[in-house]
Homo-oligomer: A and B are copies of this chain.
Amino acid sequence: MLHHTVLVVLVVWMTVDHASSAAAPSPQIEDEELSHTEAANTVEMTEKLNSTNFEQLEKLRIRSTYVARSCNDIKDRYNEQEDGLYSLTTANGMVYQTFCDMTTAGGGWTLVASVHENSIYGRCTVGDRWSSQQGNNADLPDGDGNWSNRNTFGAAEGATSDDFKNPGYYDIVAQDMSVWHVPNNFPLEHWNLAAILRYHTENRFLHLYGGNLFQLFKQYPVRYNVGSCSNRGPSVPIVYDHGDRESTRILYGPNSRTEFEPGFITFRAINKERAAMAICSGVKPITGCNTEHYCIGGGGYFHPEQCGDFPSFDWDRLEGEQGWSASKEMTEAAVLLFYR
């Protein structure tokens, strides 16, 4: 391949034609990956990336032959200890690939979903699969209904840039959950280190609710007008893997901090307008009923200026950390949901 490198260097100056000799100005670029890009601009690095590592690829392809219903099965049956993509099979025989966390607290965690806010300005528009893509509409109290149906969407490698839900969400019978908040667009191989918050439960609470969120949300529907603020679902204590109670607190807005207690994950919150949310990540609402500012997912109807996968994380429109607005870090991070 070396002669290619030489050829490139020669050809470049002759034929690539920029509109201006300087690179395009990009003052708004804040993407975490740009440093990688810059490094990759050297011909040497590109050349190295360019040669496929077949040995590694063969190793990864062996995982396609595994027969397991969860990452926990894979850990037990195949003694795999490496984070990454594996093939799973549902009880009905549907085969799919997802990410397994094989290291946290003993490993065996299956990524089953991610909640990604594609536009904080959208009000239950395209891309709001975890609330509604039908507009804010009281006639559709369940919205898209994805918290309690068998629809699937997205792909594991895109879980931080779009909503993701795989068959494991409804198929795996699990005991505990783990949640990672990973900045948008981060690649899979850096999710663990890039996460701004990671935690898991360890009291096997899912046993009580049918073994997964699909079943839990049948009992506690994420539905407009299903109950009042006092009718929320379970709050489960969490063990932190990255972050702590104090760091959880400051990820949400100052006003929100007066309403919740950190150190829990809460399911099916209801706000004062009787809108339902699916998950309050890292916290338990204690006083007040303004959960739309710090809980995610939802039914199909909210206050007219709310509605969306992160229903009202931007309420005070002040780029976060003011009033009811969540921090920019939180608003621009996908929420990855794991089972074990």
Flag if A157 contacts B85 (CB, 8 Å): no
A62 to B233, CA, bound (A): 41
Residues on B with C-beta less than 8 A from A207 are 8, 12, 43, 46-47
Q: B19 and A230: CB pair below 8 A? A: yes
Is A127 part of the contact surface with B, judged by Cβ < 8 Å? Answer: yes
* A56 vs chain B, min Cβ distance (A): 8
Q: What is the CA–CA distance of A46 and B54 in the complex, to the nearest angstrom?
A: 42
Residues 161-176 (chain A) with a chain B CB within 8 angstroms: 161-162, 167, 173-175
CB atoms of B134 and A127 under 8 A apart: yes
Do B151 and A188 have beta carbons less than 8 Å apart? no
Q: Which of A12, A141, A207, A208 has the most CB of B within 10 A?
A: A207
Q: Which residues on the B side are within 8 Å of A77 (C-beta)?
A: 54
Flag if B69 contacts A89 (CB, 8 Å).
no
Known: A19-B230, A90-B157. 15 other contacts (CB 8 A): A8-B175, A16-B234, A17-B236, A17-B264, A24-B226, A24-B227, A25-B226, A26-B226, A28-B226, A54-B77, A57-B68, A57-B89, A60-B89, A64-B95, A125-B135
Expressed in whole angstroms, the Cα–Cα distance for A89 and B59 within the complex equals: 11
Known: A19-B232, A85-B94, A226-B26. Is A12-B208 also a contact (CB below 8 A)? yes
The size class of the interface chain A forms with chain B is: 35 or more
Binary interface profile of A, 221-251, with partner B (CB < 8 Å = 1, else 0)?
1010111001111111100000000000000
Q: Which residues of B contact A226 (CB under 8 A)?
A: 24-26, 28
Question: Once the chains bind, are B16 and A61 in contact (CB under 8 Å)?
Answer: no
**What's the minimum C-beta distance from A203 to chain B, rounded to whole angstroms?**
4
Q: What are 15 residue pairs bridging A and B, where the CB atoms are less than 8 Å apart in the complex? A: A16-B236, A24-B219, A24-B233, A28-B223, A54-B73, A57-B69, A61-B93, A63-B93, A92-B188, A118-B144, A125-B134, A145-B161, A149-B161, A150-B187, A155-B167
A86 to chain B, nearest CB (A): 8
Q: CA separation between A96 and B154, bound complex, in Å? A: 14
A67 touching B63 by the CB < 8 A rule?
no
Q: Mark A249-269, 1 if CB is under 8 A from B, else 0.
A: 000000000000000100010
